[in-house]
Structure 1
Amino acid sequence: MLGKILKRTLLGILVSASLSAASVAAPVGWDEAGKEWLSQQSEHFSVHFVDGHQQSAAKVLDVAERVRQEQLPFFQSAPEARTEIVLVDDFDFSNGWATPLPFAQIRLFMSPPEDGGDLATSDDWLHLLIRHEYAHIMHMELANGAPKILQKVFGRQAFFFPHALTPSLLLEGLAVYLETNEELGYGRLQSSQYAMKMRMEVASGELKDLEQVAVASREWPLGYQYLYGAYFIQYLSETYGEEKVQAFLTGYSRRIIPYFLINRTAQQSFGKDFNTLWLDFQAYLESEFTPQLTLLQQQLIVGKDIGEEVGKDLKQTPYLQVVTHSASGLLVNRNNGEDRPKISSLDPQQSEWTSLTASKDISAMSSHPQSGLAVSRLIHYADGRSYNDLFLFNHGQWQQLTERQRFRNVRWMPDGRQLVASRKVAGVSELWLVDAQSPEQEPVRIWRGDSDTVLGAFDISPTGTELVAAMKRPRQGWNLEKLNMDSKTWLPVTDTKAAESSPSYLPDGRIMFSADYDGVFDIYVLDESRGQLERWTRELGGALRPVWQPGVGLVYQAYDTNGYQLRYLAQPQALSTQNIQHQQGRYDYPPVIEQTVEKSEPEPYSPWSTLRPHNWLPLVYIDDARTLIGALTFGSDALGRHSYQLTATWDFDNELADANLVYQYDNRWMAALSSSHDFDKMTVDGRSDYRITRDDYFLLQRNHIVTAFEDQLSLHAGGVLDKESLVSQPDFASMIAFRESNETLAGLALTFDNREAYLNVPGVGWGHYLDVVAETNDLFDSDYEGQKYQAQWKGTWDLPGRTTLTARLGAGYADDDAKTFRLGGKDLFEESRLFGRDTQVLRGYDDSTQRGHRYATQRLVLETWLGRVERNWSLYPVGLGDLSGSVFIDSGAAWDSGENHNQLTGVGTEFTFEAKLGYNLTLPVTLGYAHGLDNDQGKDEVYLTVSGGLW
């Protein structure tokens, strides 16, 4: 039994490590009517896109070939095969990713970033994104010597891509470094946002150690592996020269043993290992930012923290808060990463917060005295898309105004009848009018840009005659412009090299916004009629997203050493005044496409060229009962719709074959086929040998047949074959009966799931899960007959701090000729299966301590976050993440018709720590103790479980 557990554990770790880099290959959204997927090729790239995006796809190929040509001298080699690029318009946020497994592939989100963020300092969104993601491909593909030979033998396995197994600070740092063009002034290392973040890291007095950045996960500032990594690569290049960085890349590309030789390679390239280099780097950061910090400290003029003045529980948060003014007080969507988000109102007269309603994924808010609160929410749909839509909150009730319309920002017109909303479709910005009082009326488009023009945040003037917005025009940075609501024409307000963002009108008609005119984001006010620019704040970090709240004054969000802080100035004063003309200046970036490249004609997409196996890995397992030798392979197509994993082994001692195949088509179809053998040692009268049994398992499942309520409610269908048969057993054990069984079930399941996860809360933070499953044995040949019905409910409540309380109720009924349910053990995975579920957990008792055709179970779990280590052991591939603990009560009974219920109860506690393996793989490891309270069947047990997965 121990050998079986060990074998499965080691195999699971091996598979998790091998698939970790490929796990990001999420499928594209389900097909929509009339939208066919097409493919087009250039010399070094293939791009896959939905019909209608031909112009963007052609641009991607032109830009990608240019980027490859520019980056080739740095890396000195490039992938031999074409890199597969998939262009998607499935999300209302900006992102992208790249991986070398199972082939070199890049996913590009067409949605350009809003103004003011990290990604805003760029000449063109797709250009920046391709520069970053293709740098990853070029970097991770570097392999020479033994790794290259092993790739030719075993194909594309993660362990033979040395640079894919380096800390993300090196991967992301190099990509940010290479996306940046210092001469032209674009890329994150040229942005005031990155300078702000690193300046405040120095100001904190606690620059992060290499051991922290190597496994960066949830600590502030979020994504700090990008920040530190980019500045680290820049430091190495400035101090030792780019040729030394290239020497490190070339040297490490030859390492056959990943992880353990990274410091030796650094020593050979730079004359110092990374631990020593990091200490030098920290001193470099201090010298770079301390003079600016000293000057800013002398000039500091900041507002008061609202949390200190009126709200004891308003802390610094890891997220920018969504804030708007209202007639009744300041409205804040309070999201701190550890409690359920909620919209609260600050009454300036009473100086206290009033909670209005719980919220979820709010991205914009606008309030009107009579018409209520309009918000934009991001909704994650079952089809793989994430779209924003508009909702109205009035008189304590929510009303949905639009469905799948993708409106990301919203402002009320002064009359309170109409809303102005912005969206981005296929990367093109639009403005629409939405009738809030008659939502059945179709929205009306009032403006549409082009693919090179990006609309950011905007506001409506007090008269409703004009709109001011942050706008990025082709080959320029972010400026302010005004739209005449009658003529629908734009007029420039500013034309500078600053990143001007979050504009809003003051009651007197002046325009308030955030800008980085001197490299630090502060709040400015522009009197357009006189061209007069006033500065209202002097922050050490930065002042962002200003709002004018009557009775409070200027409210803004300050970037501080530990998070974003909501601050206010009751009576802001002009700290300096100048004419806006003194800030004028243009970027005039060179064209993104310098020349078009030769391309094939678009043709219908086919998955076969990428779906074939690109790798294999030998598997060997030997113990006293068997000698298993086999192989593992996995793959997917470019769109991520078809994915599979196959393992097959042959037992040479017993001439038996084991196999496991998992196939998935997007998130709707899943098939799993497994045939394995168990070896149970039997001892009778001093004689010992093994009984060999075979377990054949097949699952076919169709998910999301029908969905409702933002796809939280879903109907599923599935079929399960579970067959146990005897292969052989010792002659002396023939009297010990083994019952062969063949259960074949088909059924339907209805699920509801609105659970939410929060950054700093272990597991589920809040929400409910419910499933109701009905299955029958009568559709296919089976050893059993009749029906099986089951239901379970899990409810999680958010308690103060980082603590949750979860309750679970489960119940099942089976006809008397159906297979019995089993109660006992600690296999939570088996308990969570939707179809073919026959096990209920009861810790503190043996597996199958009770069997029956009826069961009822109850569970109560109190779980809390205990601490955050978030450190690696030097640069060895072992580290720790978060620590959490829980106490639980399990209770339940299984019985047959006519029998009495024998309720069993177990209590216990668990301690979970996140093991960080290979820098990027997170394995929650749980040490538990359970005590069964029943005197006869209960027991004390200590157990250790490992569950794989990336956070």
Structure 2
Amino acid sequence: MKKITLKQTLVGLLVTAGLSATSAVASPVAWDESGKAWLTQESEHFSVHFVDGHQQMAAKALDIAERVRTEQLPFFKSAPKDRTEMVLVDDFDYSNGWATPLPFAQIRLFMSPPEDGGDLATNDDWLHMLIRHEYAHIMHMEMSTGVPKTLQSIFGRQAFFFPHALTPSMLLEGLAVYLETNEELGYGRLQSSNYAMEMRMEVASGEVKDLDEVVVADREWPLGYQYLYGAYFMKYLSDTYGEENIQLFLQDYSRRIIPYFLINRSAKRAFGRDFDTLWRDFQGYLKAEFEPQLAQLKAQAVTGEDLQLTPFLQVTASSQQGLLVNRNNGEDRPEISVFDSQDLEWLSLAESKSVTSMSSHPQSGLAVSRLIHYADGRGYNDIFLFRDSDWLQLTERQRFRKVRWMPDGKQLLASRKEGGVSELWLLNADDKDAAVRIWRGDADTVLGSFDISPNGAELVASVKRPQQGWDLETLDLATKAWTKVTETKAAESSPVYLPDGRVVFSADYDGIFNIYALDIVSGELEQWTRELGGALQPEWQQGSGLFYQAYDSEGYQLRHLAEPKAVSTQQVSAYQGRCDFPSAAPNSVEKSEPEAYSPWSTLRPHNWLPVLQADDTRTLIGATTFGADALGRHNYQVLAAWDVDNEVADLNILYQYDNRWLMTLESTHDFDKFIQGNRTDYRITREDSVLLQRSHIFNAFEDQLSLHAGGVLDKESLVSEPDFASTTFRETNEALVGLAVTFDNREAYLNVPGTGWGHYIDVVAETNDVFDGDYDGQKYQAQWVATWDLPGRTTLTARLAGGYADDEAKSFRLGGNDLLEETPLFGRDTQALRGYDESAQRGHRYATQRLELKTWLSRFERNWSLYPVGLGDLSGAVFVDSGAAWDAGKDRKQLTGAGVEITLEAKLGYNLTLPITVGYGHGFDSKLGKDEVYLSVVSDF
């Protein structure tokens, strides 16, 4: 984190904001694993970088990318001149990807197929869909003509010269979803029942969102609604004005040198109306599209009893005690609870974190899969057992996403995806090393959710085969032979065995997800629900009946049907039919041979900007640039400027290697004014600072505990001063080297400001005795920050910190309102104390205490039309600060302050959230305390 001045906010942040949703230049690939080298392969228009062993997937990605480029070029009419860099990463157990034009055109592709039942279920081939979507972003954001193109040829790849990169993500994502959709073949999100369900319920709510909401979509339901609204808006523009007018808008805006403010001018030229008018017409279009269907569905609705409303799909499992639900509402710490259907109450079982799957056995207890984010940049799932009121980790970095107990309670069946390929493993609950892979698919077959039959002889699963959608199949666990149960154009998901041998699941046979029960032997299919939105994730609880989650206009509603009855019955064969999608890459394109990856071709500077700053003390002339390699491991920023008035240079260099090595070098000059009679002159001082930090030398406890090392050089020297200077300047040179241990298990929740729950601890030891300097001796510091989750969207945070320095070391300072001064691990010498001036106390010992109550107050989530300014959440806090800094042998004087803060999230450039805090602090000490009002503008980028 770094502090942002108001001047920087007004001048520079709008550009950064415009790319914050699409730029991930500083996102490195995970650390290398032993024996796995990175390789590069090229086609005519693309380079793909991948880990050795993924050659087949890399070659397929090049074939698909070249085909996608050919298909999208007629729409965009231009494409990047240089090769687009694609990176295949197998670092995460979830599906995603991103694209950015900075500092070069690049795409990151997660080698993790989407599983059944989500927005991405309606695809022909998961890698094809991912590349179609991400390359549409590249083609879109690269569009520039006229003055922007000329400026690119001079200054290189700077955000300000990519007009379409500075448009709302609603337009960027909407166009990408629109172009990923093939209406004729029936794939893509605009052809999915999921998107129709989500938009249908937006209309059903009676409050179709306004343009100024969608432009800054963030935390409101439905999550990620800029994709949903953006896609339907593009479809509306195409249906109403023709695709050629969308192309005209894109071409016209490509030449606009002033982003944000001229977007409506391009809209008027293309559509004859500005976006505000177009959006009002679009709202009417949506109502006309969905209201007749809604009226019919309401008249026929068959739904369960409402139990719980949440913004996320809940992970559920049946158990002997009752339905198990991993309750996660976005504002309280998640926990696994049991629903007692007799007394209609929730009983807490255990606190939880990032649970993705659950299974319960009457004797063996609860098994869950959890997603763990490691320091090396990977996000993997592993299995934990809940025994004797505690969690026991069964696997480590084994990537098991879904888990089910075998009937004997001694073994578990788990699925995972590695290198984009689905697998099934049999595990022993009492021996984590006795894991056996029983099935492995191919790159074109994706295994979704599954359940095990009551006798343990087979499983039923949702499976996606090549050129086909999601169907149900059974696997004989003895012979390992798959048998098709259904072959339809519907998306069938979340199958669960019933006690009588039938299978209950969710499917969209009529375009709406509902719950069905199927007799596999006879083929008889019963429909059990008729939902307005959709019915997903069925769970059968013995003695209680059916539970499922309904998509509602306000969230996912957990519902209960005690005695499900057939609302319709027919043979599943009535829905049989193949999708027969064409091959994603029918032809192999010409490619180079794979060779060892080198960062140099992408690491070179691709941009520069002049720097000019002038005031009554100096005139700075210089330049700045930034860059990264394709893997995102090497990142750098450089700013160099010459002060022509005083003949001194300012320099700022930052280099980071993944998340382990950080080096900063800064040389700046300060000017202090002196006046004597009619004479005015300045003292010029120079501050040189160097930080070298090596993080994550050692990690443990899910990488929450880490060891770090660092060194800090901070030198202040005199350049020149007037002969009438009234004070004497003391040159100082501090050179510290140290080690730090940190523990951090803090969690963030969707609707809670700041930290939602958790603890942060650091212990730092530094010495001045390794390098020569003006100080000697040791420095030791520690801090503990604990946040407790209170009911609702409120937290209580306590902080204790203390430090000790030898008498010959640099002293600590206490005072001021800059909390960021407390965050560096190394070279930390300032503790904030609101209600007091900076350096209100100095000493070689300090002890501070803080208590803060923070709560969410309101949500605006509104933009000012299409201008790049909007508002997010409003939160407030009350605090008490206390502390003292003193020297050995001197009295310790405790200072106390208290105050309030109000934080308003500014939305800049549509995508950047910038918290602006206005605070009031009162110092209670009669001599040192004061009343102050302060402003703090802080961002995480």
Q: What is the TM-score of this pair, normalised by structure 1?
A: 0.97
Q: For 1:174, what is the secondary structure of its paired residue?
A: helix
Q: How does 1:183-582 map to 2 (within 5 A)?
A: 183-306=184-307, 314=308, 316-439=309-432, 441-582=433-574
Measured against aligned partners, the alpha-carbon deviations of 1:196-225 in whole angstroms (never above 9, x if no partner) come to 000000000000000000011111000000
Q: Give, in whole Å, the separation in 2 of the partners of 1:854 and 1:30.
A: 39
Measured against aligned partners, the alpha-carbon deviations of 1:574-597 in whole angstroms (never above 9, x if no partner) come to 000000110101001111112110
Q: CA deviation at 1:652?
A: 1.6
Q: For 1:287, what is the secondary structure of its paired residue?
A: helix
Q: CA deviation at 1:395?
A: 2.2
Amino acid at match of 1:670: L
- Cα pair 2:604 2:627 within 8 Å, conserved: yes
Which residue of 1 is the match for residue 638 of structure 2?
646
Which residue of 1 is the match for residue 930 of structure 2?
939
Which residue of 1 is the match for residue 179 of structure 2?
178
Which residue of 1 is the match for residue 879 of structure 2?
888
Amino acid at match of 1:291: P
Q: Which runs of 5+ in 2 are unaligned?
A: none
Q: How does 1:573-652 map to 2 (within 5 A)?
A: 573-652=565-644
- Cα pair 2:215 2:910 within 8 Å, conserved: yes
Q: Give, in whole Å, the separation in 1 of the partners of 2:884 and 2:825.
A: 20
Measured against aligned partners, the alpha-carbon deviations of 1:214-267 in whole angstroms (never above 9, x if no partner) come to 011111000000000000001101111110000000000000000000001100
Q: For 2:310, what is the secondary structure of its paired residue?
A: coil
Amino acid at match of 1:870: E
- Cα pair 1:348 1:551 within 8 Å, conserved: no
Q: For 1:901, what is the secondary structure of its paired residue?
A: coil
Aligned residues between the structures: 937
Deviates more, 1:654-663 or 1:139-148: 654-663
Q: For 2:449, what is the secondary structure of its paired residue?
A: strand
Q: CA deviation at 1:391?
A: 0.2
Q: Give, in whole Å, the separation in 2 of the partners of 1:243 and 1:622.
A: 48
Runs of 4+ deviating beyond 6 Å: none
Q: Structure 1 pair 19/178, CA: closer, same or farther in 2 (3 Å)?
A: closer
Amino acid at match of 1:341: P
- Cα pair 2:402 2:415 within 8 Å, conserved: yes
Q: Structure 1 pair 295/7, CA: closer, same or farther in 2 (3 Å)?
A: closer
Which residue of 2 is the match for residue 134 of structure 1?
135
- Cα pair 1:196 1:541 within 8 Å, conserved: yes
Q: Give, in whole Å, the separation in 2 of the partners of 1:819 and 1:270.
A: 66
Q: Structure 1 pair 12/731, CA: closer, same or farther in 2 (3 Å)?
A: farther
Amino acid at match of 1:872: N
Q: Structure 1 pair 702/10, CA: closer, same or farther in 2 (3 Å)?
A: farther
Q: CA deviation at 1:550?
A: 1.9
- Cα pair 2:19 2:911 within 8 Å, conserved: no
- Cα pair 2:24 2:100 within 8 Å, conserved: no
Q: Give, in whole Å, the separation in 2 of the partners of 1:687 and 1:710.
A: 63
Q: Structure 1 pair 490/37, CA: closer, same or farther in 2 (3 Å)?
A: same
- Cα pair 2:49 2:88 within 8 Å, conserved: yes
Measured against aligned partners, the alpha-carbon deviations of 1:395-449 in whole angstroms (never above 9, x if no partner) come to 211100000000000000000000000000000000000100222x331011000
Amino acid at match of 2:385: L
Q: CA deviation at 1:23?
A: 3.8
1:729 correspondence with 2:721: yes
Which residue of 1 is the match for residue 657 of structure 2?
665
Q: Structure 1 pair 15/874, CA: closer, same or farther in 2 (3 Å)?
A: closer
Amino acid at match of 1:344: S
1:792 correspondence with 2:792: no
1:676 correspondence with 2:677: no
- Cα pair 2:25 2:102 within 8 Å, conserved: no
Q: For 1:714, what is the secondary structure of its paired residue?
A: strand
Q: Give, in whole Å, the separation in 2 of the partners of 1:916 and 1:930.
A: 26
Identity of aligned residues (%): 73
Q: Give, in whole Å, the separation in 1 of the partners of 2:812 and 2:524.
A: 77
- Cα pair 2:5 2:937 within 8 Å, conserved: no
1:760 correspondence with 2:760: no
Q: How does 1:684-695 map to 2 (within 5 A)?
A: 684=676, 687-695=679-687
Which residue of 1 is the match for residue 920 of structure 2?
929
Q: Give, in whole Å, the separation in 2 of the partners of 1:19 and 1:550.
A: 51
Which residue of 2 is the match for residue 311 of structure 1?
none
Q: CA deviation at 1:727?
A: 1.4
Which residue of 2 is the match for residue 86 of structure 1?
87
- Cα pair 1:22 1:102 within 8 Å, conserved: no
Amino acid at match of 1:799: L
Q: For 1:164, what is the secondary structure of its paired residue?
A: helix
Q: Give, in whole Å, the separation in 2 of the partners of 1:290 and 1:19.
A: 37
Q: Give, in whole Å, the separation in 2 of the partners of 1:587 and 1:16.
A: 43
Q: Structure 1 pair 164/5, CA: closer, same or farther in 2 (3 Å)?
A: closer
Q: Give, in whole Å, the separation in 2 of the partners of 1:372 and 1:543.
A: 28
Q: For 2:431, what is the secondary structure of its paired residue?
A: coil
Q: For 2:665, what is the secondary structure of its paired residue?
A: strand
Q: Give, in whole Å, the separation in 1 of the partners of 2:902 and 2:680.
A: 38
- Which one scores higher on RCO, CA 8 angstroms, separation ≥ 6? 2
Which residue of 2 is the match for residue 907 of structure 1?
898
- Cα pair 1:391 1:401 within 8 Å, conserved: yes
Which residue of 1 is the match for residue 37 of structure 2?
36
Q: Which runs of 5+ in 1 are unaligned?
A: 307-313
Q: Give, in whole Å, the separation in 1 of the partners of 2:767 and 2:204.
A: 65
Q: Give, in whole Å, the separation in 1 of the partners of 2:132 and 2:522.
A: 42
Amino acid at match of 2:327: R
Amino acid at match of 1:694: R
Amino acid at match of 2:225: Y
Q: For 1:732, what is the secondary structure of its paired residue?
A: coil
Q: CA deviation at 1:827?
A: 1.7
Q: Give, in whole Å, the separation in 1 of the partners of 2:6 and 2:287.
A: 49
Q: Give, in whole Å, the separation in 1 of the partners of 2:471 and 2:906.
A: 46
Which residue of 1 is the match for residue 712 of structure 2?
720
RMSD: 1.3
Amino acid at match of 2:74: P
Q: CA deviation at 1:10?
A: 5.8
- Cα pair 2:264 2:275 within 8 Å, conserved: yes
Amino acid at match of 1:751: T
- Cα pair 1:18 1:157 within 8 Å, conserved: no
Q: What is the TM-score of this pair, normalised by structure 2?
A: 0.98
Q: How does 1:747-786 map to 2 (within 5 A)?
A: 747-786=738-777
Q: Give, in whole Å, the separation in 2 of the partners of 1:12 and 1:692.
A: 27
Measured against aligned partners, the alpha-carbon deviations of 1:496-545 in whole angstroms (never above 9, x if no partner) come to 01000000000111000000000000000001121100000000000000
Q: Give, in whole Å, the separation in 2 of the partners of 1:471 and 1:550.
A: 26
Q: Give, in whole Å, the separation in 2 of the partners of 1:617 and 1:300.
A: 61
Amino acid at match of 1:888: F
Measured against aligned partners, the alpha-carbon deviations of 1:456-483 in whole angstroms (never above 9, x if no partner) come to 0000000101100000000000000000
Which residue of 2 is the match for residue 309 of structure 1?
none
Q: How does 1:98-137 map to 2 (within 5 A)?
A: 98-137=99-138
Q: For 2:36, what is the secondary structure of its paired residue?
A: coil
Q: Give, in whole Å, the separation in 2 of the partners of 1:242 and 1:773.
A: 61
Amino acid at match of 2:687: D
Q: CA deviation at 1:317?
A: 1.0
Amino acid at match of 2:265: R
Q: Give, in whole Å, the separation in 1 of the partners of 2:767 and 2:528.
A: 71
Amino acid at match of 1:385: R
Q: CA deviation at 1:687?
A: 4.7
Amino acid at match of 1:923: L
- Cα pair 2:18 2:167 within 8 Å, conserved: no
Which residue of 1 is the match for residue 908 of structure 2?
917
